[in-house]
């Protein structure tokens, strides 16, 4: 999977890669000072179960504990509402190394909905789960599905600990209803999906690497088979010209006007 050196401005080649593949990795884009402080506070919030938390047991994906009361039931999947947890997140979100590439991808005025990815994903060694192939936009409601996710590695991410995998180009493709299950995951049992699934790429990341991916790009991840917790800070962005549909879940919370 191609990666790139520290930059604030995306080159034409990088822009083209994002348009074609629906993702881009910017290596060492986020300074380690951010990585270290977000990692430390995430571990504190994880162990103290602080703030708005999503538990693995609530989603019931393969590998997750059956209920909050069963063994491993308090395994955290996500520390939600990251920006409400510590000022470091707002500092990070206003940094040119993040905003500049987003402006090149989405337009001058960048908005971050608080209703969607605004979290630290916490994939723990025991009781974490497999997330099937999905598009984030499946339950999101905006004027257009043109949204971009920023995924910041707070540690090593690889196939052992459940790094993100993507299906390149799927942000531009149309899918038939029968290719998806009732929860709109791409059906991995279906012969007609096999060619697509064979094109999967793994986003192996090091601390401070930034993965930008289109919210329509299908992605998945396995559970964490390693002995250490995997942490990633994840945010979603839209252009000011792409507002949420009034009354929808996407419009349920305020938004940050970042540029
Ligand atoms: O790390 C994972 O399991 C994938 C998470 C994900 O894709 C999501 O929550 O939308």
pLDDT at 103: 97
pLDDT at 8: 64
259's CB contacts (< 8 A; 6+ apart) are: 99, 103, 108, 109, 110
pLDDT above 90: percentage of residues in the chain: 96
Choosing from 155, 185, 203, 220 the residue with most ligand 1 atoms within 8 A of its CB, the one to mutate for a pocket test is 220
CB 187 within 8 A of CB 193: yes
Segment 4-26 shows an average pLDDT of 87
Segment 153-169 shows an average pLDDT of 98
C-alpha dihedral sign at 65, 76, 122, 213: positive
- Ligand 1, residues at Cβ distance < 6 Å: 121, 123, 131, 136, 162, 219, 221
Segment 111-120 shows an average pLDDT of 97
Distance CA 5, CA 29 (A): 8
Tell me how far the alpha carbon of residue 58 lies from the centroid of ligand 1, in angstroms.
14
Segment 214-228 shows an average pLDDT of 98
pLDDT at 4: 44
State whether CATH 2.60.120.620 applies to domain 23-257: yes
pLDDT at 5: 45
Tell me how far the alpha carbon of residue 135 lies from the centroid of ligand 1, in angstroms.
10
Kindly give the number of the ligand 1 atom that is closest to the alpha carbon of 136: 10
The model's confidence at residue 223, banded by pLDDT at 50, 70 and 90, is very high
- pLDDT exceeds 90 at position 157: yes
- DSSP-derived letter for residue 117 is S
Average pLDDT, whole number, for the chain?
96
Kindly give the number of the ligand 1 atom that is closest to the alpha carbon of 162: 1
Domain ranges of the chain: 23-257
pLDDT at 101: 98
- pLDDT exceeds 90 at position 1: no
The candidate with the shortest Cα–Cα distance to 141, out of 252, 254, 257, is: 252
Which pTM value belongs to this model?
A: 0.96
Tell me how far the alpha carbon of residue 254 lies from the centroid of ligand 1, in angstroms.
23
- pLDDT exceeds 80 at position 193: yes
pLDDT at 135: 98
pLDDT at 170: 98
């Amino acid at each position: 999977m191609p990666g790139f050196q520290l930059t604030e401005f995306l080159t034409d080649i990088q822009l083209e890669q994002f348009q074609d593949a629906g993702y881009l990795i910017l290596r060492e884009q986020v300074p380690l000072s951010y990585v270290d402080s977000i990692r430390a506070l995430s571990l504190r919030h994880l162990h103290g179960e602080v703030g708005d938390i999503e538990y693995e047991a609530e989603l019931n994906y393969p590998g997750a504990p059956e209920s909050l009361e069963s063994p491993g039931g308090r395994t955290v999947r996500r520390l939600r509402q990251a920006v409400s947890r510590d000022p470091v997140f707002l500092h990070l979100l206003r940094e040119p190394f993040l905003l500049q590439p987003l402006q090149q991808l989405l337009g001058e005025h960048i908005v971050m909905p608080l209703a969607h990815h605004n979290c630290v994903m916490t994939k723990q060694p025991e009781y974490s789960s497999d997330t099937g192939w999905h598009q984030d936009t499946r339950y999101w409601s905006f004027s257009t599905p043109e949204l971009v996710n920023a995924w910041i590695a707070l540690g090593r991410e690889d196939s052992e600990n459940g790094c993100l995998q993507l299906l390149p180009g799927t942000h531009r493709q149309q899918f038939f209803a029968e290719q998806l299950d009732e929860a709109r995951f791409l059906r991995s049992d279906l012969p007609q999906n096999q060619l697509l699934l064979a094109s999967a790429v793994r986003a192996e990341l090091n601390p401070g690497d930034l993965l930008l991916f289109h919210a329509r790009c299908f992605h998945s991840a396995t559970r964490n088979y390693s002995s250490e917790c995997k942490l990633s800070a994840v945010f979603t962005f839209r252009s000011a010209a792409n507002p949420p549909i009034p009354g929808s879940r996407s419009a349920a919370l305020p938004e940050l006007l970042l540029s």
